[in-house]
Structure 1
Amino acid sequence: MYGLYLTGTTEETIKPSTTQLPTTTSPGTTEETIKPSTTQLPTTTLPGTTDETVKPSTTQLPTTTSRGTTQHTIKPSTTESPTTTPPVLYSDCKDVYDAGYTQDGVYKILPAGWPSAAFHVYCKMDNGGGWTVFQRRIDSTTDFYQNWDTYKIGFGDVSANFWLGNDKIHYLTAQKNYKLRFDITTSGGQSEYAEYAEFAIESETTKYRMNKLGSHSGKAGTELSRNKGSSFSTHDNDNDGCSSFNCAEKNKSGWWHMDDWCSDCFGYFCSCFQVNSCYYTCTGENLNGVYNGGSGQNIFSSDIVYCNIKFVEMKIRPTS
């Protein structure tokens, strides 16, 4: 939970007195005892300030104070709630990090050009700080086999399993140059990562085509480069270019599916789906697939290497 101090304002509540004030008399007057008040006086706010109640968070933000201000500490709540928003809305988690908010948590941002209200994101502050998370899988409680409109606006809980939303990802990656990172935990408990030096997706006009994906590093995600240039597909909006199958339906996921291998018959790999006696594949990366699903319907990275992933988190950070 974070402490937050509003610069230049002092909000004080005058509490009732519990001590009897002294008796005062003057010549020719009747002696009266001034009794203590039992009513709380109204809260006063200095002119030009806004009296706001800041809701509690479960994560401690850095405490900031300025000269002439009174320090107020917001006590923690036992209920999960979004992180207190900094007084200025930032465009991404890197701006939040650079402003001094250096702990992981939920923050509210407003990307450049975003046509709607500011929205909450989860910020990761490791590996250089300021990563804006747009996808996470930690268990099977959230269904990622969703339709086009649901992937467009986003779904889930930004503190747990979620997809931020294709519209939001587009506006985020259009405002600056970003790199992509995802961290996975394999079915055997091994931690691996992938980084791509560039990442961006276009708007809904081009079906959220992945138009940027730079050079790769790390052991995971080695096949994602094959998805570059692909439009996003869902089971009700097929944009994969494969004439034989609806890859989003076969892989049970919204993703940048492709047609590179969709007509080739393979032996069994975890990235494949079976049709009659043959196994086919549309992608070597499927991080939105069914969590711990069956053959061709599970969550995997690097094609045949990391199958049934236990954890994955995808995030972006400006390159400069």
Structure 2
Amino acid sequence: MTTDGGGWTVFQNRFDGSVDFNRNFSMFENGFGDINGEFWLGLKYVQELAELPTELWYDVSLNTDDRAHERYDRFKLIGESYILFLDAESAEKTGLATFAKYGFAILNGTEFVPYYPDLSQYCRSWWGRSADPCMYINFNKEYGDNIFLFDQAYSPLKTTRMMIRRK
């Protein structure tokens, strides 16, 4: 990927809803989809790639084609529950992300779970401990329901892409 100087590995890509992201933990751990279309690379592969100092970048677009991105200087996934670690102080935001009530950093320190059985309408295949983090940002919900909270208004996402790059 040529974004921001290149060298990125995409680990999540969604743009048309052709791949169902409502999967069990094993599928998220090992990956699914088509690398030339919509896919999730696999948590164990992302964790391995991020063993050395690694950056995280995500970009999203809305149905209005408004765009946003965030970049974090440090990213890793820790342990068997893939706890998300970000250097929240290093966040760089552009576009609509500058209006986001909470950025990706709200998920910092949370583990990845395929879904919360009693709150599955909120949290599905994402990082979080309770419904709250998932209510602000979740790229893996059913396509069209995947959300980002911009300036007190929930916005469905048209495209989402998450990438990492070793520093």
Q: TM-score normalized by structure 2?
A: 0.85
Residue equivalent to 2:128: 257
CA distance in structure 2 between the aligned counterparts of 1:161 and 1:213, rounded to whole angstroms = 28
Q: What is the DSSP-based 3-state SS (H/G/I as helix, E as strand, rest coil) of the residue aligned with 1:171?
A: helix
Consecutive unaligned residues in structure 2, runs of 5 or more: none
Q: Deviations over 1:197-225 (max 9, x none)?
A: 21110132xx1111334321214274321
1:1-320 matches, cutoff 5 A: 124-174=1-51, 176-204=52-80, 207-214=81-88, 215-219=90-94, 220=97, 222-235=102-115, 246-247=118-119, 249-251=120-122, 253-259=124-130, 262=131, 281-283=132-134, 284-292=136-144, 298-302=145-149, 304-305=152-153, 307-319=155-167
Contact persistence 1:145–1:252 (CA under 8 A): no
| Alignment partners' CA distance in 2, 1:169 and 1:255 | 14
Name the CA shift for 1:212/1:218 in 2 (closer, same or farther; >3 Å).
closer
Distance in 1 between residues matched to 2:35 and 2:25, nearest whole Å: 19
SS in 2 for 1:255: strand
Structure with higher Rg: it is 1
Following superposition, the deviation at residue 252 of structure 1 comes to 5.4
Q: Secondary structure at the match of 1:250?
A: coil
5+ long unaligned stretches in structure 1: 1-123, 239-244, 263-280, 293-297
Asked whether the 8 Å contact 2:76–2:84 carries over to 1, the reply is yes
Percent identity at matched positions?
Answer: 26
State the AA in 2 paired with 1:251: Y
**More helix by proportion, 1 or 2?**
2
Q: Secondary structure at the match of 1:150?
A: helix
Q: Contact 2:72–2:86 (CA<8 Å) still a contact in 1?
A: no
Structure 2 partner of 1:120: none
CA deviation profile, 1:116-148 (whole Å, cap 9, x unmatched)? xxxxxxxx1231110110001011111001111
Higher strand share: 2
Paired amino acid for 1:300: I
C-alpha distance in structure 1 between counterparts of 2:46 and 2:87, whole Å: 14
Paired residues of 1:186 and 1:306 also in contact (CA < 8 A): no
For residue 226 of structure 1, give the secondary structure of its aligned residue in structure 2. helix
Note the aligned Cα RMSD (angstroms). Answer: 2.0
| SS of structure 2 residue aligned to 1:211 | strand
2:123–2:138: 8 Å Cα contact kept in structure 1? no
The residue type equivalent to 1:161 in the other structure is: E
Following the alignment from structure 2 to structure 1, what is the Cα–Cα distance between the partners of residues 154 and 13?
A: 16
8 Å CA contact retained: 1:187, 1:306: no
The one of the two structures with greater contact order (alpha-carbon pairs below 8 A, sep at least 6) is 2
Q: Secondary structure at the match of 1:160?
A: coil
8 A Cα contact 1:135 1:314, kept in partner:
yes
How far, CA to CA, are the matches of 2:123 and 2:53 in structure 1?
A: 31
Query: What is the CA deviation profile of residues 54-103 of structure 1, one whole-angstrom value per residue up to 9, with x for unaligned ones?
Result: xxxxxxxxxxxxxxxxxxxxxxxxxxxxxxxxxxxxxxxxxxxxxxxxxx
